[in-house]
């Protein structure tokens, strides 16, 4: 009989396939000569990354935590949404599956909140609501540029909620804790305002992102763990640098809110958060999350710093080039972003194999 971990592997495969397809489509969008594989692939780069990869990954993590069979519908539906996009059969079906996935994710957080009423579950549940709104807007035919702020909200609040849970380990005053929901309220006000006055809403949302970044930098427990060695320090550095990119993203939203539709400025407003913030979080948490989902150990290796450093350097090249409209730097920076993620996957796969070899050698 297959173990619980083995039953999760097809869902992990959905996430992996979505990530690789999104990266391929991203390289084509950058202007590099690659076969498109499918006509819709370049245009599906965003949904494949947010719904197919990140939605499946977050949904699988939450389903494992809840330990109820129906909860696995979240990664199943988001993975099937990505497969439907890749097949090119029906955009509408892919959108409906994405909406279904987000509805189930909200249900997970309702159950978790009832079991343990807390601010962090409320924050992550609110993130799931933003994912539902974004997926619904996508299915109603809104432009992806109008959908993306809601998708970003989903990711930002999911991560911020997880960090809020750990903030209990640090002594905070009542006012310090109250600042967190205030920053979230500013960000949410911007998202709602964007439905009526898009540019103004983006500006206000950027202010919320900047305020949230300041809160995370100031109060995250990472300032305690960065003094340690090995994995705790690597995680802390990943988190703190990611918060800096979140703040940069907020500033860019405020500075270029009139350009949140296309072009180089739109590119940096998105990727400063999707790459700089979100992937810094993924890099830092992967050695913990991956074993909990797959049952495979990912021992920390110093080589992990290679993909973290390359992420930030390549993103600096991309954003700097976009700011001065230097397209060769934009293309090379984007390609290096993709290679960084592939290096991350390779480093973690090598760590798993080395860990298994060392375990077998010691027995």
User: Which regions in the chain score pLDDT beneath 50?
Assistant: 1-2
Task: Give the pLDDT of residue 1.
Answer: 43
Task: Give the pLDDT of residue 6.
Answer: 66
In three-state form (DSSP H/G/I as H, E/B as E, the rest C), the secondary structure along the chain is CCCHHHHHHHHHHHHHHHHHHHHHHHHHHCCCCCCCCCCCCHHHHHHHHHHHHHHHHHHHHHHHHHCCHHHHHHHHHHHHHHHHHHHCCCHHHHHHHHHHHHHHHHHHHHHHHHHCCCHHHHHHHHHHHHHHHHHHHHHCCCCHHHHHHHHHHHHHHHHHHHHHHHHHHCCCCHHHHHHHHHHHHHHHHHHHHHCCCHHHHHHHHHHHHHHHHHHHHHHCCHHHHCCCCCHHHHHHHHHHHHHHHHHHHHHHHHHCHHHCCCCHHHHHHHHHHHHHHHHHHHHHHHHHHHHHHHCCCCCCCCCHHHHHHHHHHHHHHHHHHHHCCCHHHHHHHHHHHHHHHHHHHHHHHHHHHHHHHHHHHHC
- Asked if residues 46 and 19 have their Cβ atoms less than 8 Å apart, the reply is no
The answer to whether position 36 is within a domain reads yes
The answer to whether position 37 is within a domain reads yes
Number of independent structural domains in the chain: 1
Q: Distance between CA 336 and CA 330 in Å, rounded?
A: 10
Task: Give the pLDDT of residue 173.
Answer: 79
The answer to whether position 152 is within a domain reads no
- pLDDT tens sequence across 129-178: 999 999 999 999 999 999 999 999 999 999 999 888 776 667 777 888 88
pTM of the shown model = 0.94
What is the phi-psi region of residue 362: left when phi exceeds 0, alpha when psi lies from -120 to 50, beta otherwise? alpha
The answer to whether position 222 is within a domain reads no
In terms of residue numbers, what domain contains 36? 1-116
Task: Give the pLDDT of residue 35.
Answer: 79
Q: Distance between CA 126 and CA 109 in Å, rounded?
A: 9
Q: Distance between CA 183 and CA 210 in Å, rounded?
A: 9
The answer to whether position 77 is within a domain reads yes
The answer to whether position 24 is within a domain reads yes
The answer to whether position 100 is within a domain reads yes
The answer to whether position 217 is within a domain reads no
Task: Give the pLDDT of residue 20.
Answer: 94
């Amino acid at each position: 009989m297959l173990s619980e971990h083995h039953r999760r592997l097809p869902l992990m495969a959905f996430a992996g396939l979505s990530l690789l397809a999104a990266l391929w489509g991203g390289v084509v969008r950058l202007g590099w000569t690659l076969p498109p594989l499918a006509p819709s692939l370049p245009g599906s780069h965003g949904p494949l990354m947010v719904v197919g990869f990140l939605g499946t990954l977050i949904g699988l993590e939450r389903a494992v935590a809840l330990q109820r069979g129906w909860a696995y519908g979240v990664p199943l539906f988001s993975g099937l949404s990505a497969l439907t996009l890749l097949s090119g059969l029906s955009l509408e079906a892919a959108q409906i599956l994405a909406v279904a996935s987000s509805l189930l994710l909200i249900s997970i957080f309702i159950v978790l909140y009832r079991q343990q009423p807390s601010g962090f579950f409320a924050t992550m549940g609110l993130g799931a609501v933003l994912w539902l709104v974004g997926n619904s807007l996508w299915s109603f035919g809104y432009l992806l540029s109008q959908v993306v702020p809601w998708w970003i909200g989903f990711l930002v609040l999911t991560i911020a909620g997880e960090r809020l849970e750990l903030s209990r380990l640090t002594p905070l005053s009542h006012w310090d804790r109250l600042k967190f929901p205030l920053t979230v309220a500013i960000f949410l006000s911007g998202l709602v305002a964007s439905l009526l006055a898009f540019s103004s809403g983006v500006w206000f949302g950027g202010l919320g992102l900047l305020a949230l970044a300041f809160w995370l930098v100031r109060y995250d427990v990472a300032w305690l763990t960065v003094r340690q060695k090995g994995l705790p320090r690597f995680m802390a550095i990943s988190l703190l640098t990611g918060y800096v990119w979140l703040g940069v993203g907020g500033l860019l939203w405020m500075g270029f809110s009139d350009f949140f539709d296309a072009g180089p400025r739109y590119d940096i407003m998105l990727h400063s958060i999707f790459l700089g913030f979100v992937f810094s979080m993924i890099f830092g948490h992967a050695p913990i999350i991956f074993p909990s989902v797959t049952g495979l150990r990912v021992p920390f290796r110093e080589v992990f710093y290679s993909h973290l450093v390359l992420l930030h350097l390549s993103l600096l090249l991309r954003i700097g080039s976009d700011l001065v409209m230097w397209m060769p730097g934009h293309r090379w920076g984007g390609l290096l972003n993709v290679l960084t993620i592939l290096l991350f996957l390779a480093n973690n796969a090598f760590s798993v194999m080395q860990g298994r070899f060392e375990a077998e050698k010691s027995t």
